[in-house]
Amino acid sequence: MTPPRLDLADLVRRSQRLALGSAQGKALLGGAPAGDGVLREVTGFGGNPGRLRMLAFVPEGLPPGAPLVVALHGCTQTAGDYDRGTGWSILAARQGFALLLPEQRQANNPNRCFNWFEPAHTRRDQGEAATIRQMVAHLVARHRLDPRRIFVTGLSAGGAMASVMLATYPEVFAAGAILAGLPYGAGRSMSEAFEAMATGRPRPARDWGSLVRAASPHPGPWPRVSVWQGEADTTVRPANAEEILKQWRDLHGLTGVPLAGEARSPAHRHRLWRGPDGLPLLEHHAVTGMAHGVPIAPRHGDAPLGQAGPYMLDVGLSSTEAIAAFFGLGPEVQPTPQPSAPGWLDRIIAVGRDGGARVEQTRSVPGPVHAPLRQAAKPDREETAADPAAPTPRSASAWLDRMALTRRAETGKPPPDMPDAGGGFDPGRIIRRALKAAGLLER
C-alpha cells in the first residue's frame, strides 16, 4: 500500500506550536530545578562518545542488589523535566530502586532530542548508545545494583532511543517500555525518520525482528517490552506502536492471539502476550483521545505521581506506576499459573484487588498461552528487606511476582562487564524542525 503523502507545511506549523507550547509550559512551571533537586550529575563514568550528561537518583540507604531504571526524555526536555512530569524519582524512593536519566546536550541536538535515527548513535558500542551503556555500567558497579534487573523507558525520541538500547544491548536490559516511540531501525536518516513518524513505515514482522538480531551478537532470550500510545497522537502516529509490537512478537516467537488485560480507565485498552512463566513478554497500552505524551495521574490515587505539563498528559492513568509494575518493581503485576494444556487457556486463577484469589473463565484460543493481567492491591505499608513480617495475601502476591522475575532473570546470561529550531526559511532548517516536531526527536 502506498504511504500517505506527507504534508511538510503542516508538520512545520506543528513544530512551531510544539516549541511554543513547550516554552510556555516551562514558564508556567516556574523553571523548577531539575528533578526538584533530587537528581545529581555524575561525571567520569567513561569515554562518553555520545557527549551526553549523566544524571541519577539513588535513594539514601539503597541496599546492594537493587534494580535500576533508565529513563530517556523527549525532545525539548531535560532530565529534570522528564522526572518531574513522570514522577520516576518519587517512585524510586518509595519502592527502592536506582534511577538513571541521561540528558541530551543542545550542542548535539538543538532540540535536545536523542539522535535515534543516526547510525553513528544507534549501533552497539558507538555514540549515544555506547554512552548510555557506560552510564549503566558505572552506576551498577558503584552502587552494587542487580545486573539482572536493569530496565529502560522513554518518551518519543527517548522512546525510540529506548528501542535502540533494547536492540543493541539486549543482554543488559531485562525489559523496556516505549511511549510514543518507534521500532529499532525505523529510520537511518532524517528523511526516513520523518516518514516513519508520519506513516509507521510498515514492514513484515520478520524484517523488523531481523534488524534487532543483527544489532548485537546476543542470541536471546530477549527483553520483555511494554508499548504505550495515545490514539490521537499526530506527532508519532499510532501505526508505529503496531510496528514495535510486530518487531518484538517476532523476536519472542509470539504467534497467538493476545488477551485483553485490565483496563485502568474507560479510555484505556490493554493487550498482552504471556510467556511460559506466566509473566507478560509483550504488552500494548492504547489511550483513546490522548495526544503525544506520557499518560500520568497526578491528581488520582492515594500517592499520586507526576506533574502535568507539556507532553505530560493528565488522563487519570499513571503509566509510570504501570510500567514499574510490568518491570516487577511494585506489587501490581501478578503471575498466573499455567494451564495443563499448552497452547490453550481454559481458566486462570487471578489475584483480585482485595488480595483474594478467584477463578475466571475465558475462551480457549489456539497458540501460546497468554493470561489476562490482573492487579493485586497495593500493600498497606512499604515492604523492606529488613522486615520479614508474615506475608498477607497482598504482600505474598508481590513476593511471588518478584521471585518469578528473579527466576526469569537467572535463566539469561548476565551482562558483560535535531535539528535546528531557528527561524528563517532555510529549507534544511525547516525540514529538521519539522522532523523534531514530528517526534523525530520530538519535544
- 3-state SS of the chain: helix, strand, coil percent to 5? 35, 15, 50
What are the E-state strand segments in 223-277? 224-230, 259-260, 268-274
Q: What are the distances in angstroms from CA 327 to CA 224, 369, 381, 400? A: 9, 20, 20, 14
Tell the burial category of 413 from Cβ atoms under 10 Å away from its Cβ (0-12, 13-18, 19+). Answer: exposed
Q: What is the CA radius of gyration of the chain?
A: 21
Tell the burial category of 379 from Cβ atoms under 10 Å away from its Cβ (0-12, 13-18, 19+). Answer: middle
**Cell triple for 416:** 558483560
DSSP state of 4: P
Q: Alpha-carbon distance 304 to 198, whole Å?
A: 33
**Cell triple for 28:** 508556567
Q: Alpha-carbon distance 437 to 429, whole Å?
A: 12
| Residue 156 annotated to the active site | yes
Show the 3-state SS of 325-389. HHHCCCCCECCCCCCCCCCCCCEEEEECCCCCEEEEECCCCCCCCCCCCCECCCCCCCCCCCCCC
Cell 546536550 maps to which residue? 105
Closest by Cα among 111, 101, 98, 95 to 80:
101
Contact of 155 with 82, CB cutoff 8 Å: yes
Q: Which of 156, 163, 226, 395 is catalytic?
A: 156
**Cell triple for 140:** 551498577
Q: Alpha-carbon distance 32 to 57, whole Å?
A: 17
Q: Alpha-carbon distance 16 to 146, whole Å?
A: 43
Contact of 333 with 350, CB cutoff 8 Å: no
Q: Alpha-carbon distance 437 to 434, whole Å?
A: 5
**Cell triple for 43:** 561525571
- Peptide bond preceding 221 in cis form (omega within 30 of 0): yes
- CB count within 10 Å of CB 237 equals 22
Residues in CB range of 363: below 8 A, 6 or more apart = none
DSSP state of 37: G
* Residues labelled as active-site residues: 156
